[in-house]
Amino acid sequence: MAVERTLSIIKPGAVAKNLIGKIITRFEEEGLRIIAARMVHLTPEQAGAFYEVHRERPFYAELVKYMTESPIITLVLEGENAIARNRQLMGATDPSKALPGTIRGDFAVSVTRNTVHGSDAPETAATEIAFFFSQADLISAR
């Protein structure tokens, strides 16, 4: 296993409901380290670009609207196998299929308003981290 980095986003609904601390606690208790963090209020152009891969999907417009409705927290998590471990903590995309004890299982309200984003592979993690952070923002030497 390799030390990986992954992009996590605490989505607008979760920030609005004061769930930042509860969600970050899950990452920390799992042993993932936060090596960058920033609050951002995305423009429609930024949210649209971030989810470019989904542009032709029927949910794209609703997703962009949701992601821009209020601020998000962007995080870079680091650790052994961080990408898959974060996806496990998140649970299934559709919260009705997410297990209790996962972030989405416990907090998500719908498939669109599903609390968190997490990169799904090393290539997407690198692209998504670079979307929000420069190399100098990543503080992993502790």
Binding site for ligand CDP (CB under 6 A): 54, 59, 62-63, 93, 111-112, 114, 117, 120
The smaller minimum CB distance to Mg ion, of residues 106 and 120, is found at 120
Is 117 annotated in the active site?
Answer: yes
Q: Can you list the alpha helix ranges (DSSP code H) found in 77-138? A: 82-90, 103-107, 122-132
Which partner, ligand CDP, Mg ion, none, binds residue 41 by CB below 5 to 8 Å per kind?
A: none
Interior/surface letters 32-56, b for 16+ CB within 10 angstroms, e for the rest: bbebbbeeeebeeebbbebbeeeee
At its nearest, how many Å lie between ligand CDP and the CB of residue 116?
A: 8
In sign, the C-alpha dihedral spanning 39, 63, 119, 123 is negative
The smaller minimum CB distance to ligand CDP, of residues 65 and 140, is found at 65
At its nearest, how many Å lie between ligand CDP and the CB of residue 94?
A: 7
Q: Looking at 23, 117, 129, 133, which residue is catalytic?
A: 117
Binding site for Mg ion (CB under 5 A): 120
Cα 103–chain centre separation: 11
| Positions marked active-site | 117
